[in-house]
């Protein structure tokens, strides 16, 4: 293997990497190598089981990245999970297939990324998707499942749909009535993947309806194509850094890897090196390769090849909490109940207009605080610009400000939730020149009080939903946090211990190699090429400039599909 040369080397055989590898290897004379640190999980029941969420956590297919102690959230570290396997995080995620609000993707263009907007991304959401039409499955009749075919693809590699295990006992309809009975009703949304997410819906998942198993990136984009002779995958192989051609230009000529037998070697790339190692790894690989902030690199004796100080900056994640209630009726745990509501600011905050005005006044101070907490590497004036766009999305465009899931299980109802668009930003950086060393990951959860406010308000909203008929009559006492822990009518301070003490990462890290103009902190340009290099790209969740209200994978798949067309020279 050590003297092989490939046209393209894709680092990371995960969600985005396998899309790009698949599409590039459609060109028969183009050779593609995927380097993947994990192994195959094709037959791993912790992966395939559509009810298996969480079973893979803490096993050897979970990177289980640890953050620094989170100073704004009680001081404890968090674990941010990510898949270490062919298929990457799509092999351990929650299967949810929910995109973004159109205005959020349009904001990518508004911030300076020409050509990246909802209209140009929608064809790629559809290209990748193989929606398993629920109208063809009688078992889904009456389950409440709806969709608008105009927004879906039916022939792409990735199977998406509702499971054959979908609950069909009228609960979905009762929840809908409950949402309509709120004092500020949340309407039914026929298709939250249409670019308008606000409302209550039954969402689809990445699964194979017929086989009732998880559909992940490997099952969709690799295994059916594994016989292509121009597509190679090296499993259990760790990429250490990019290697460079001699000369002044930053042109990559390969990747240093440690093979499964422990031997370190270099594999050559004739055309490009494409990073797809995930938002907590790709920026670190750039740093190990000499691309980043010279102050950071020099600490570890790494010579700066390209001075690009925002590598690893602008890390954004969400915070996840959950409420739980007793149920008067026992539920069958082998039934799927994929119910989501996405309230807008006007629906979530009782005082939305005043809150918006107050937040607008605070934005310059927020931007200064974020810049200063991160060493002023991204300028406060640029962060202010991002924040103003985010404010407009929330208070003018009416994007969802929270996601609220509801699932019955046994004698309980659980409701996980999170504020969709926190303002806090942190960073991820290497901690050593050793490529296997853990990175320093600091998302700065709860740094800004709006993020906490959204989390508290979502909890109050859930309490209101559970006291509204007909759900109110079906549910019993609140178990978590329980009224003895957080009394009815509790103020923000009373909620703080629970919210900051019991939250977890929502596992949606992004923006650590942001697609943005270079002068405002970008790491990659609109062709996803790293500034200053002639042939290195990043195609994973790192490049998304703003958080999306849906879950990340659908947008990761779509971005990677578009990236492949860019690399092929079609855009």
Active-site positions read 508, 551
Residue 521 binds to ligand FDA (criterion: CB under 6 A): no
Q: Binding ligand FDA by CB under 6 A: which of 70, 73, 88, 459?
A: 88
Q: Does position 536 bind ligand FDA by CB under 6 A?
A: no
Tell me: does residue 166 bind ligand FDA (CB under 6 A): no
Selected from 35, 291, 367, 496, the binder of ligand FDA by CB under 6 A is 35
Stretch that binds ligand FDA, among 77-85, 104-112, 375-383, 450-458 (CB under 6 A): 77-85
- Does residue 104 touch ligand FDA according to CB under 6 A? no
Tell the smallest beta-carbon distance from residue 27 to ligand FDA (Å): 21
Q: Which residue is nearest to ligand FDA (CB)?
A: 14
Give how far Cα 380 sits from Cα of 314, 371, 375, 384, 441, Å. 12, 5, 10, 6, 21
Q: Considering only 35-43, 100-108, 302-310, 357-365, which stretch makes contact with ligand FDA by CB under 6 A?
A: 35-43
Which among 6-14, 67-75, 161-169, 397-405 is the span making contact with ligand FDA, rule CB under 6 A? Answer: 6-14
From CA 242, how far away is CA 287, in angstroms rounded? 10
Q: How far apart are CA 459 and CA 491, in angstroms?
A: 12
Indicate the pairing of strand 65-66 with strand 79-80.
antiparallel
**Interaction of residue 12 with ligand FDA, rule CB under 6 A:** yes
Helices 102-110 and 380-395 pack at an angle, to 10 degrees, of: 150
> Which of 78-86, 188-196, 353-361, 423-431 is the region at the interface with ligand FDA (rule: CB under 6 A)?
78-86
Number of CB atoms found within 10 A of residue 23's CB: 23
Is 507 a binding residue for ligand FDA by CB under 6 A? The answer is: yes
Q: Can residue 220 be called a binding residue for ligand FDA (CB under 6 A)?
A: no
Verify binding: residue 522, ligand FDA, rule CB under 6 A: no
Q: DSSP string spanning 75-92?
A: T---EE--B-BTTGGGGT
Least Cβ distance, residue 330 to ligand FDA (angstroms): 26
Site for ligand FDA contains 96 (CB under 6 A) = yes
Task: State the number of CA atoms in the 13 A half-sphere of 241 facing the CB.
Answer: 18
Q: Does 92 bind ligand FDA (CB under 6 A)?
A: yes
Rounded to a whole number of angstroms, the minimum distance from the CB of residue 272 to ligand FDA is 16
Residues 303-332 interacting with ligand FDA (rule: CB under 6 A)? none
Compute the distance between CA of residue 468 and CA of residue 472 in angstroms, rounded to an integer.
5
Residue 552 interacts with ligand FDA (CB under 6 A): yes or no:
yes
Distance (Å, whole) CA 222 – CA 312:
29
540 counts as binding ligand FDA under rule CB under 6 A: yes
Please tell me whether residue 82 binds ligand FDA under the rule CB under 6 A.
yes
Q: Residue 470 and residue 468: Cα distance in Å, rounded?
A: 6
Among 16, 548, 521, residue whose Cα is nearest residue 312: 521
d(CA 420, CA 551): 10
* String of DSSP letters for 466-491: HTSTTHHHHEEEEEES-TTTS-TT--
Query: 89, 278 in Cβ contact below 8 A?
Result: yes
Asked if residue 187 lies in contact with residue 181, where contact means CB atoms within 8 angstroms, the answer is no
Q: Which of 157, 195, 254, 278 binds ligand FDA (CB under 6 A)?
A: 278
Residue among 167, 220, 269, 276 that touches ligand FDA (CB under 6 A): 276
> Could you tell me if 478 and 191 are in contact, meaning their C-beta atoms sit under 8 angstroms apart?
no
Stretch of 33-41, 66-74, 144-152, 224-232 contacting ligand FDA, by CB under 6 A: 33-41
Number of residues that bind ligand FDA (CB under 6 A): 40
Q: Please name which of 362, 427, 350, 428 lies closest in space to residue 390, comparing C-alpha atoms.
A: 362
Please give the residue ranges that form the binding site for ligand FDA (CB under 6 A).
11-17, 35-38, 81-85, 88-90, 92-96, 238-239, 276-279, 281, 507-508, 540-541, 551-554, 556
């Amino acid at each position: 293997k050590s003297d092989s040369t490939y046209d393209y080397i894709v680092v990371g055989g995960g969600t985005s990497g396998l899309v790009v590898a698949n599409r590039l290897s459609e060109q028969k004379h183009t050779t593609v190598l995927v380097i993947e640190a994990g192994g195959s999980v094709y037959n791993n029941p912790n992966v395939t089981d559509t009810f298996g969420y969480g079973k893979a956590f803490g096993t050897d297919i979970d990177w289980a990245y640890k953050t620094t102690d989170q100073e704004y959230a009680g001081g404890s570290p968090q674990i941010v999970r990510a898949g270490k396997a062919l298929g990457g995080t799509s092999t351990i995620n929650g299967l949810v297939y929910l995109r973004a609000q159109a205005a959020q993707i349009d904001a990518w263009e508004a911030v300076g990324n020409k050509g990246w907007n909802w209209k140009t991304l929608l064809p790629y959401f559809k290209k990748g998707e193989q929606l398993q039409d629920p109208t063809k499955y009688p078992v889904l009749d009456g389950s409440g499942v709806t969709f608008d075919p105009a927004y879906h693809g039916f022939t792409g590699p990735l199977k998406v749909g509702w499971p054959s295990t979908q609950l069909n006992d009228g609960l979905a309809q009762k929840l809908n009535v409950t949402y309509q009975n709120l004092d500020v009703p949340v309407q039914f949304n026929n298709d939250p993947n249409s670019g308008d997410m606000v409302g209550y819906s039954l969402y689809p998942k990445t699964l194979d309806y017929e086989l009732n198993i998880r559909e992940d990136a490997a099952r969709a984009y690799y295994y059916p194509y594994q016989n292509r002779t121009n597509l190679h995958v090296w499993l259990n192989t760790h990429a250490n850094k990019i290697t460079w051609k001699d000369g002044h230009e930053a042109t990559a000529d390969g990747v240093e890897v440690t093979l499964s037998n422990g031997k370190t070697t270099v594999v050559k790339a004739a055309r490009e090196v494409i990073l797809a190692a995930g938002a907590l790894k790709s920026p670190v690989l750039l740093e190990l390769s000499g691309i980043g902030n010279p102050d950071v690199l020099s600490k570890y004796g790494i010579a700066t090849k390209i001075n690009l100080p925002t590598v690893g900056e602008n890390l954004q994640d969400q915070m996840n909490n959950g409420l739980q209630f007793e149920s008067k009726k026992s539920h069958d745990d082998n039934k799927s109940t994929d119910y989501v509501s996405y309230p807008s600011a006007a629906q979530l905050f009782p005082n939305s207009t005043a809150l918006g005005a107050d937040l607008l006044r605070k934005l310059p101070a927020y931007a200064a605080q974020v810049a200063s907490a991160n060493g002023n590497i991204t300028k406060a004036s640029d962060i202010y610009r991002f924040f103003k766009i985010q404010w407009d999305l929330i208070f003018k465009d009416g994007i969802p400000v929270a996601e609220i899931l509801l699932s019955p299980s046994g004698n309980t109802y659980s409701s996980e939730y999170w504020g969709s668009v926190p303002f806090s930003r942190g960073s991820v950086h290497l901690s050593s020149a050793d490529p296997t060393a853990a990175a320093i990951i600091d998302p700065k959860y709860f740094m800004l009080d709006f993020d906490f406010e959204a989390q508290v308000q979502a909890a109050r909203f859930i309490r209101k939903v559970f006291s509204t008929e007909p759900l109110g009559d079906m549910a019993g006492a609140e178990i978590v946090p329980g009224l003895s822990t957080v009394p009815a009518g509790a103020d923000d301070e009373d909620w703080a211990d629970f919210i900051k003490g019991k939250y977890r990462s929502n596992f949606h890290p992004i923006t650590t190699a942001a697609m943005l103009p270079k002068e405002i902190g970008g790491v990659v340009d609109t062709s996803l090429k790293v500034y200053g290099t002639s042939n290195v790209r990043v195609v994973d969740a790192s490049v998304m400039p703003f958080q999306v209200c849906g879950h990340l994978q659908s947008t990761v798949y779509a971005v990677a599909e578009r990236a492949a067309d860019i690399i092929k020279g079609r855009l």
